[in-house]
Amino acid sequence: MKSVSHQQACQLLHNKFIVVLGDSIQRSIYKDIVLLLQKEKYLSLRQLRSKGEMSFEQDCLVEGGCLDEMHNGTEYREVRQFQSAHHLVRFYFITRIYSHYMHSILEDFRNGLKPDVVYVNSCIWDISRYKSSSINDYKENLRKFFNELNGILPKETLVVWNLAMPLGERLKGGFLVPEIEYKASQLRSDVIEANFFGGTLADAYGMDLLDLHFQFRFSLHHRTKDGVHWNAIAHRRITCLLLQHTAQAWGVIMPCPLTAIEHPQVTNQKSACESATKVAEDCCPTKRSSSGCGDEFSSDTLPDGCFNFENNNPRQQTYRPKAARTCRRAAPPQPLQPLHRHPRRNNADSSSPHYLEPYREHHHQQVMRNRHTRRHYAPYTQHGPTHDPPHGWYD
C-alpha cells in the first residue's frame, strides 16, 4: 500500500478541522494523526497504552481523563485536542454510539465550528457492556446517530465510518470487566454481525465506509496480546488508509514517496534500516516480498530505524526474466499537488474547485461503498496566526 508522509499529511489537512469519535482504538488513530502532522515517527508502546494523560505530542486534555476519575466504566470521558496554526484535531472517547453524551457532542457541532472530516466508530463497547438486548439497541442507536449527524453537518463534510477490527479468541481488554466475561467467546461473531449492519446503514445514510476488519484480516500478527488493540505499525497503516481515502474524496492526487520513519525506541541494530535504505536506493524487484506486503509488515515488532510502505500488489506487477531485470535508482519523491480550495461562500470572487481526479469505484478499493466527490473548502481563514494559539477550544 502507499504511504503518506508527514509533508503530505500536513498539506492535505491544511486548515482542516478533523474529529475522531470512538473507543481506545480510535484514540490511537487520533494520536497517530497528531504525531504524523508533526514528525515522521511511530507511536511508542507507552503512548499506545496511555489514556487520559494531560498532554500528548503538544495536544491537551480538554475534559475527563486524569482531570476526573480514571476507570473502565461506561461513563468514562476523555476529550483531547491538538491545535496548531493550520491544523485542528479533536478526539471524543465514547462507549455508545448514541446517548445523552453523544447528543451533547452533536450540539457542539451544531452550535460551533463544523468539522471537515469525521472518523467515527463505536461497536465493541455497545454490544458488550450494556444489557442483553445490546445488539438491537446498537442498531437503533446507529439510526439515531446517522440521522442527527446528517441534519447537523454540511454536505461538504466527509464522514468515514470505520468498521471494527477483528478480535482475538481470548480477550483481555479493559472494557472486558468480570461481569461480561461470559460474552467474550461470542463477541468475535457479534462484531461481524454489527459491522455488516453498521456498514449497510452507513451507506444508506451516505457515509463513506472503511472496512478495517477486511483490511487487517491477514495482519493479525500486529494485534497485541490482549486480542483487542493493535501495534504502531497497524495504526500507521490505518492512518494511511484514512488519509488516502480523504484525498481521493477531495480529488487530491498524492504520490507515493519512499519515506523513512524513525521509531522512538531505536537500538544499535540497524539491519532493518539498512535493508530498507538499500531497497529505496536500488529499487531492486528481487528484494520485494512475494506475499504482497513488505518485509516490515511480516513481523510483530517495529523496525529498528525506518519503515517503508510500498505498493507491492502482486496483481499489478509484471513478470520479467531474471536476466532482463535491471536495478535503477529510484526517482525522487514528487511533491504533493497543491490543494484547490473553495473560498468562503460570501466571497464575491469565489470560483468552483477543480478536481484533479474523479472519485470512482475502481480508484479506491479500501471502502465497501464510494460516495460522490466532496467539495474541497476551508471553513475558517487560511492565514493562521504567526504563533501557535493557546490550547483550548478553537474560537
Higher pLDDT, residue 199 or 328 = 199
Q: Specify the pLDDT at position 169.
A: 84
Third-level CATH fold of 6-255+337-363: Rossmann fold (3.40.50)
Q: Is 87 helix (H, G, I), strand (E, B) or coil?
A: strand
Give the DSSP per-residue string, 42-100. PPPHHHHH--S-S-STT-EEEEEGGGS---SSTT--EEEEEE-SSEEEEEEE-SSSSSH
Model pLDDT for residues 111-162, shown as the tens digit of each residue = 999 999 999 999 999 998 887 678 889 999 999 999 999 999 999 999 999 9
Model pLDDT for residues 210-266, shown as the tens digit of each residue = 999 999 999 999 999 989 999 999 999 999 999 999 999 999 988 865 555 555 554
Residue written as grid cell 463513506:
208
Higher pLDDT, residue 168 or 239 = 239
Q: Specify the pLDDT at position 273.
A: 47
Among 107-111, 148-152, 177-181, whose mean pLDDT is lowest? 177-181
Nearest to 192 by CA among 209, 169, 167: 167
Distance of CA 234 to the CA centre of its chain: 10
**Whether the Cβ atoms of residue 290 and residue 245 lie closer than 8 Å to each other:** no
Model pLDDT for residues 38-72, shown as the tens digit of each residue = 999 999 999 999 999 999 999 999 999 999 999 98
Cα 297-299-303 angle, rounded to 5 deg: 75
- The residues, ordered by sequence, that sit 6+ positions from 31 with a Cβ below 8 Å of its Cβ are 43, 47, 48, 56, 57, 235
Highest mean pLDDT among 32-36, 131-135, 335-339: 32-36
**Going by DSSP bridges, is the β-strand pair 60-64/208-210 parallel, antiparallel, or unpaired?**
unpaired
Distance CA 267, CA 328 (A): 30
Output the CA–CA distances (angstroms, integers) from residue 219 to 119, 165, 300, in the order listed.
Answer: 22, 11, 9
Q: At residue 289, does pLDDT exceed 70?
A: no
Distance CA 17, CA 5 (A): 19
By CB atoms closer than 10 A (0-12, 13-18, 19+), residue 320 is: exposed
Kind plus residue range of the DSSP H or E element containing 49: helix 45-49
Q: Where are the domains positioned within the chain?
A: 6-255+337-363, 271-324
Residue written as grid cell 471524543:
92
Kind plus residue range of the DSSP H or E element containing 270: none
